[in-house]
Amino acid sequence: MRYEVQVDVDAPPVVLWSVLADPTEWPMLSDSFLKVEQVRGSGLERGAAYKVRQPSIRAMRWTVTALEPGTAFTWRMAVPGTTTTGAHRVVPRGTASRLELVLEQTGFLSRPLWAIGGAHYRALVEREAATFAGAAEHRAR
């Protein structure tokens, strides 16, 4: 199961990236994160791990699997039966940017989990996109 959100952001890519680049700050920006704690690594880097707590979802450990500094990162979380991947990308658009967020679940339990929680997951991703865009636009002023 896959869900993607794209939002045009009236802020330069470097400013939008500054919002995405420190997940531990996200709970101060968005109510879709209750707590994000780095448990391995130093800053956003490949192999860094974060314990993420979101509303109505138990705390999960997300590990950064890919990083393009200033542009994108992907992290992954796995539990028996399903793997969830979250991709975050900043796309330059002249002096502004576009934020692309992708949530993807795979594995034999992904369909039943999506049937149960898909609406909640989609709402969280949409709130994250709107909040990150708004934070970047505020910082750009």
pLDDT averaged over 10-residue windows placed end to end, the chain, 141 residues = 97 98 96 96 97 94 98 97 98 97 97 93 95 97 93
**Angstrom distance (rounded) from CA 104 to CA 117:** 13
What pLDDT does 93 receive? 97
pLDDT on residue 52? 98
What pTM did the predictor assign?
0.95
Q: What is the pLDDT of residue 118?
A: 93
Q: What's the pLDDT at 125?
A: 96
Query: Residue 34's pLDDT is what?
Result: 96
Buried b (16+ CB within 10 A) or exposed e, 9-42: bebbbebbbbbbbebeebbebbebbeebeeeeee
